[in-house]
Amino acid sequence: MAMPAQLSSCGSRTAQLAGSAPQQRIASRAVCRAAPTHRQTVAVSAQPAAPLMLRGASSLRISRPAMQMARWRGVCNTSAFEAALENTFLPEMRETAQYISRPGHGILASDESNATTGKRLDSVGVENTETNRRDWRELLYTAPGLGEAGISGCIMFEETLYQSTADGKPFVNVLRDQGIVPGIKVDTGLQVLPGTAGETATQGLDGLGDRCKAFYKQGARFAKWRAVIKIGEDGCPSTTAVFENAHALARYGQICQENGLVPIIEPEITLGPGDYSIETTAFWSERVYSHVFRMLNEYNVQLDAILLKPNMILPGLDAPTASPADVARYTVRTCLRTVPPAVPGIHFLSGGMSEEESTLNLQALQDEVKRIGATAPWRLTFSYGRALQSATLKAWSGEPGNKAKAQDILVRLAKANSSAQLGEYSGDHPVPGGGRILQQLRFGGAGK
């Protein structure tokens, strides 16, 4: 599948409705801007419809709403966002989402803030400077054959989106030449919700529209916003935290789509301390995802132009490690119960899992779908950060002479996860063993 041609431009299609005089019943065709796979045929009436006020943030008045499908025959828009706002980015965003989530491909998450990147560089004795951060990202993006190895999208931090290689080639162009779609982290970090047991809200909605416009102009075509839901402690998650984060994800998704960026929706049930069971994680994941999709619908976010980035269903860090088969059984069940089939791809985060566990669990997801005889309507794939970067960083350790060795590890890890997404992984892992880690949450902004 070729990279979408609209990476540097966006096309538009204008909806055309054939009408006639009131009181006369006719047959009509309505040409819709939705993808052909979403076409529906219904009865038609030329009777003028009374304006309908749709619930939601936009509160748009539509005189002949596509929502009243029994009044039209043909292809219909199904939301105010499609029908009234005439978002010319929608065809491009749908194509981009399908491209990123196509078989055997996933996302490299390299959107760590400067503060978080600094901690990781410090772990291998490298100073946290702009030059060293650039050198690290250049190593990742210029790895020979990275796109062919199964990376179709790359999430970047804002600083990195505007950076270039040491010889002056913009990182955006480096990724495109590899067949990798550039993406951008747009949230500005976590803040503690007052009155909760350390639960968090994600910041960054202020000015997001203007920032999305700038990111699109720079070459980004998708975005990421991380919402963190805490479980395993009394009172967690609270309804306050669930509602706040579901609302923020929906508003972010709406703003992104208005400005041409495919939003990654990331409701992360974070892997934390405690001996809570895998069943507990499954229960809360279902509850949270249902609230998130309810809010996405309320804000008219087009589900065929998003990507979902959830957690796999895992027990607490102090509980016995679940087998890949158990992780897959609960994860697939949760997705089947909560994720609409319109969503093109579910890109799981590695969430504290080791490199090998991340690959084995991804393979097990495909095995579970086959075991239950289901046909998954979405791609079950990956958006890994630590599981692709950690061993690569250790191999590099800031030494120019280690660059080729480190890039080879990255490409082999990408190939392993690509094979797992296809359900074909077997043999020795490029980075065997390893244990889970507790991911510390950082508060107080994006750490620029």
- Report the catalytic residues: 266, 309
Nearest Cα neighbor of 391 from 355, 342, 360 is 355
- In degrees rounded to 5, what are phi and psi of residue 383? -140, 85
**Segment holding 345, helix H or strand E:** strand 345-348
Is the separation of the CB atoms in 114 and 126 below 8 Å? no
Alpha helices (H) along 84-207: 90-100, 114-122, 130-141, 158-161, 171-177
Question: Residue 240 class from Cβ within 10 Å (0-12 exposed, 13-18 middle, 19+ buried)?
Answer: middle
Q: Which two tokens stand for residue 42?
A: 């219904």
Q: Is 4 exposed, middle or buried (0-12, 13-18, 19+ CB in 10 A)?
A: buried
User: Three-state DSSP class for 183?
Assistant: strand
Rounded to whole angstroms, the Cα distance separating 425 from 409 reads 17
Q: 407 is written with which tokens?
A: 């890039």
CA distance 359 to 368: 14
Beta strands in 47-189 (DSSP E): 52-53, 61-62, 106-110, 151-156, 181-185
Q: Is 64 exposed, middle or buried (0-12, 13-18, 19+ CB in 10 A)?
A: buried
Q: d(Cα 305, Cα 310) in Å, to the nearest integer?
A: 16
Rounded (5°) CA angle 159-162-168: 120
Give DSSP secondary structure letters for 297-357.
Answer: HHTT--GGG-EE--------TTSPPPPHHHHHHHHHHHHHHHS-TT--EEEE--TT--HHH
CA atoms of 8 and 218, how far apart (whole Å): 9
